[in-house]
Amino acid sequence: MKKIFRIFAFVISGLLIILIAVVAYISIALPRVDAAPDLAVDLNAEQVEKGRYLATHVMMCVDCHSQRDFSIFSAPPIQGTELAGGEVFDHAIGLPGVFISPNITPAGISDWTDGELFRLITTGVKKDGDPIFPIMPYHNFGRMDEDDIKAVIAYIRSVPPVETNHPKSKADFPMNLIMRTMPKRPAFEKKPQPDDVLEYGRYMVNAAACNECHTDFRDGKFVGEFLAGGREMQFPDGATVRSANLTPHETGLKNWTQEEFIQKFKSYSAPSVTLAKVSPGEFQTIMPWSMYAEMSEEDLGAIYTYLQSLPPVENKVERFTPAP
């Protein structure tokens, strides 16, 4: 019997040593990406305007790095908080930790170089070498044109500084370790010309990270067909919204014309539209309609063209379930 206990103790000790070694390797050796590049972004007016359009109406930097008003339909940013961070993503919406969007006005990024910001946006690795939680779709941004990323950096450098003192994000165990395995080197591509409508639409769908919400995601991985919808997103009150099917199936966008698709977005365009107040139990969405509404018709049309080229997937989605 003693011999059995000794063997058992040796096995347990061996497993603990292996576990400690694995944890140490992940903590020290990962993430493994290149050093921040040595670059200086041009802050000319054209570059800044290009970055404003991308950050506000395509990549949705403003959407997450602001505090949103969920008492209004589609939860637009609260005026005065744009890019100053402070939005909380935590257990109440099903996430493995408490993640708080940082201040990316000049007050929050004054000690970051352009190269460090560029690496963060495209690999998810901070200046200190630690990873961020991929609620920011850095995997998508790492497949964009480098010039578009530089334009976004130019824009956030140009906005008025806002002083804040947000708490730091903190991932639960073991997500704090899993996060270190996620960053990878970017695979940049040149932005297609707008007259190559299909490829340009594909590029814009990636830049807008449509897949992040419109592909079903469960237990830390994508499980649904690409852009076929059905991903569940919880609200703090217990209500659930599910993303729409964007493939050209009858349960998706098959019967939508390009004009209908574009006008769906433009129907939320300010200042002609006042977004409705939303009472508890009423339909709400995290889709930032009023921000996407200012995307150009050319870009929206290209996105439609790309979506119509996808394989049709049958997936009828129950869009909203009120809180119990």
pLDDT per residue as tens digits for the range 104-133: 999 999 999 999 999 999 999 999 999 999
CB 43 within 8 A of CB 157: yes
Confidence band of 238 (pLDDT split at 50, 70, 90): confident
Confidence band of 1 (pLDDT split at 50, 70, 90): low
Break the chain into its structural domains and give their ranges. 37-191, 193-324
Confidence band of 26 (pLDDT split at 50, 70, 90): low
**257-288: pLDDT as tens digits:** 999 999 999 999 977 788 999 988 899 999 99
d(CA 246, CA 199): 17
**Dihedrals φ, ψ of 171, to 5°?**
-85, 145
More confident residue, 6 or 240: 240
**160-177: pLDDT as tens digits:** 999 999 999 999 999 999
pLDDT for 158 beyond 60: yes
Return the HEC string of the chain: CHHHHHHHHHHHHHHHHHHHHHHHHHHHHCCCCCCCCCCCCCCCHHHHHHHHHHHHHCCCHHHHCCCECCCECCCCECCCCCCCCCCEECHHHCCCEEEECCCCCHHHHCCCCHHHHHHHHHHCECCCCCECCCCCCHHHHCCCCHHHHHHHHHHHHHCCCCCCCCCCCEECCCHHHHHHHCCCCCCCCCCCCCCCHHHHHHHHHHHCCHHHHHECEECCEECCCCCCECCEEECCCCCEEECCCCCCCCCCCCCCCHHHHHHHHHCCCCCCCCCCECCCCCCCCCCCHHHHCCCCHHHHHHHHHHHHCCCCCCCCCCCEECCC
- Residues written for the chain: 324
Percent of the chain scoring above 90 in pLDDT:
81
Confidence band of 10 (pLDDT split at 50, 70, 90): low
Listed residue (246, 178, 242) closest to 210, CA to CA:
246
Whole-number pLDDT of residue 324: 80
pLDDT, average across residues 41-67? 97
256-258-259 Cα angle (round to 5): 100
User: Based on the number of CB atoms within 10 Å of its own CB, is 96 exposed (0-12), middle (13-18) or buried (19 or more)?
Assistant: middle
Which residues 6+ apart lie within 8 Å of 281 measured at CB?
239, 322, 323
Which residues 6+ apart lie within 8 Å of 117 measured at CB?
109, 153, 156
